[in-house]
Amino acid sequence: MRYIEETLENKTILITGGAGFIGSNLAFYFQNNHPDAKVVVVDSFRSGETLSNGNLKSFGHFKNLVGFTGEIISGDINDKDLLLKLETDYKFDYIFHEAAISDTTALEQDLMIKTNVNAYKDLLDIAIAHGANMIYASSAATYGNAESPQRVGREAPNNVYGFSKLSMDHLSREYMKKTDITIVGLRYFNVYGAGEYFKNTTASMVLQFGHQILAGKNPRLFEGSDKILRDFIYVEDIIQANIKAMHPKESGIYNVGTGKARSFQDIVDILQRELGTSLVCEYIPNPFVGSYQFHTEADITTTKEALGYAPAYEMEDGIKAYVAEIRRIYETEVKK
């Protein structure tokens, strides 16, 4: 779907983290809807390097960009030489900043702050030098266990990832005071959709439950899963918000969710309906009681006002649109 009518002919767009989940979806949005735009993707493509928790340091994967015909640069946003090249060799009109250490269980506080906060400041400086509007990924992790509905200004991060994203938001507000470019931070809630498989164990439970069901395994949920609620948002609505944030009514930090909390039980029930299965759910004790968000729901009032954003996908719609891709990934990646 095309979310803006204006032409982007002769415009140059930078997408950091462009081989990741959201970044690759953005890259294809522009390729499919604005083929006259020049799109430059930067990503620290995955290697064998892991964090101390055993998870990969980078989730960027070439398969997310198969079919993309724009320019691709392999590089780390912490690399000052790369940043200098981006500043001097290009003239960007828009920067979509999706690159980050996005693992909420990562323990490397130094790497998290360096990558998510310090490198973002360098990119903001490039945006100002180029006169490029900045749209960046913030996160609902900034809210921690704050009561629902979550509203900007009520943050209480309980891990270094959430802290780093909140630090980005504080930095953005300082830059908003001294520049004419627009700066928009988008606090993503629980995103699911095509392109997330290579996030491995951090991929959404929509995908993970889908693959459990396709394998013929009984879906395993925590006890009380009908009362564990999240604001699950389909990736197409995330893309809508990003595109509309190119020209907001005003700079700011905005929630991107559906404004509705749904349960993990709902996910399994909808998936079984779409996949034509009737497996019996297994309920296991929740080991995360005390460190687990039991209810998230985005207040999207200001997002609607400033961006003209209106979520188009209920969970039923999103899973229905996603299920063919869940099957494809299962056949081509999981079963092989």
Residue positions annotated with a catalytic role:
161, 199
H or E element: which one contains 12?
Answer: strand 12-16
Backbone angles phi, psi at 136, to 5 degrees: -130, 160
Give the sign of the dihedral formed by CA 103, CA 168, CA 92, CA 88. Answer: negative
Which tokens in the block code for residue 33?
């809807």
Alpha-carbon 305 to chain mean position? 21
Q: Residue holding tokens 């395994």?
A: 217
Q: Residue holding tokens 């079919």?
A: 67
Alpha-carbon 59 to chain mean position? 12
Give the sign of the dihedral formed by CA 139, CA 142, CA 143, CA 144. Answer: positive
The C-alpha angle with vertex 238 and arms to 292 and 229, in degrees rounded to 5, equals: 25
SS3 category, 256: strand
Distance CA 235, CA 173 (A): 26
CB-CB contact of 128 with 48 (8 Å): no
Q: Residue holding tokens 């309980």?
A: 158
